[in-house]
Amino acid sequence: MSLELLTILDKNGKAQKGKDPNLPPEELKKLYRLMVATRALDDRGLALQRQGRIGFYLQSTGQEASHIGAAYAMKASDWLFPAYRQPGILLLRDVPYEKIIAEWFGNSGDTSKGRQMPVHYSFRQANFVSISSPIGTQLTHAAGAGMAAKARGDDTVFMTFCGDGGTSSNDFHSGLNFAAVYKAPVVFICENNGWAISVASKNQTASESMAIKADAYGMPGVRVDGNDILAVYRVCKEAIDRARRGEGPTLVETVTYRIASHSSSDDADRYRDKKEFEAWQKKDPIQRFKTYLKHKKLWNEAFEKECVVGAKEEIMAATKVAEALPPMGPESMFDDVYMNQTPGLKAQRKELHDLMLKGGVGAEIGHFPL
């Protein structure tokens, strides 16, 4: 148990002596590209929502180091049970932009067939389990999957995320309790970004920290600077290795800040102190990592342009492809209800098909209303 805020990069972007994980240069540059691309993806998503082209968006701005650093420590065969502010993991796991953006539109390119809210991704090929809106439910899912993997003898670790508000959910207790009792190979990440929508952390828990909650469940708890990608990587790598050795779960609290509003439906200026916001803006995880790369002589203007312009161009091209895809047909509502369609469903599907042929059904429905 460590309540100290663990960090590697100082305010000048230099790694503290003996703490640098010494990742290869190309891997460091890859992490920077991912962080920059994640922010560009978020900017595009919010812009599309404001233009009325998608119905809803939720950003991870300011939290790129927290989730990318955590997931980077995993093997490709490990599984993720995310919350809804970890889009960089999809880029880390090579999910195509077109697939991500098609999910925003909920059209025929969407792996969820338009049945989920925007930014509630599910990508089986990336071992990325469906995001669910109810707060905390993914924690019990990850615990159960970890218990099953342990029973099967699989060499698999499961990582799951929640925000600081998620620690007040029933599923936080259930998930951590079961995982600890059964020593399931799970790493619980609490991204403490200061706000549970409009409720400040201090108003929803009296605990000294989120990490200290681990003590009651009989697992290690660690606090780490969530805007320091190297520190997050190092702490999560240790937790993952511990889980893989059969030593059970760990709770990692990444202390970060939600620079954006909660979602495109929220206005954080109505409840958030301006001075607090400005102070955290100066701790931008991308700028901090850039300074580190400069010290390592791995960053220059050409590399910056490659990262920023390259990401924007790819995202714009992918948006054009994804937006042009047709919507899911109304008849798709009968798919996936049962493995084998019942006679009743077959009859209803035919009835709908006949109505569509007559022009009575299938008009434009519009976007998700949030």
Residues 236, 149 within the same domain: yes
Residues 284, 362 within the same domain: no
Residues 26, 101 within the same domain: yes
Catalytic site residue from 39, 262, 288, 292: 262
Residues 166, 37 within the same domain: yes
* CATH code of the domain covering residue 81: 3.40.50.970
Q: Mean pLDDT over all residues of the chain?
A: 94
Residues 247, 361 within the same domain: no
pLDDT value of position 367: 45
Q: How confident is the model at residue 68 (pLDDT cuts 50, 70, 90)?
A: very high
Q: How confident is the model at residue 362 (pLDDT cuts 50, 70, 90)?
A: low
Number of structural domains (the chain) is: 2
pLDDT in tens, 315-324: 999 999 999 9
pLDDT value of position 211: 97
Residues 180, 95 within the same domain: yes
% of residues, the chain, pLDDT over 70: 96
Q: CB–CB of 279/61 below 8 Å?
A: no
pLDDT value of position 358: 81
Residues 348, 202 within the same domain: no
271: annotated active-site residue: yes
Catalytic site residue from 93, 271, 349, 353: 271
Owning domain of residue 286: 2-323
* 306, 323, 340 - which closes a domain: 323
Residues 244, 350 within the same domain: no
Q: How confident is the model at residue 11 (pLDDT cuts 50, 70, 90)?
A: confident
Catalytic site residue from 85, 258, 288, 292: 258
pLDDT value of position 364: 47
pLDDT in tens, 262-278: 999 999 999 999 999 99
Residues 154, 240 within the same domain: yes
Residues 126, 225 within the same domain: yes
152: annotated active-site residue: no
Residues 193, 49 within the same domain: yes
d(CA 307, CA 62): 17
Residues 93, 220 within the same domain: yes
pLDDT in tens, 105-163: 999 999 999 999 999 999 999 999 999 889 999 999 999 999 999 999 999 999 999 99
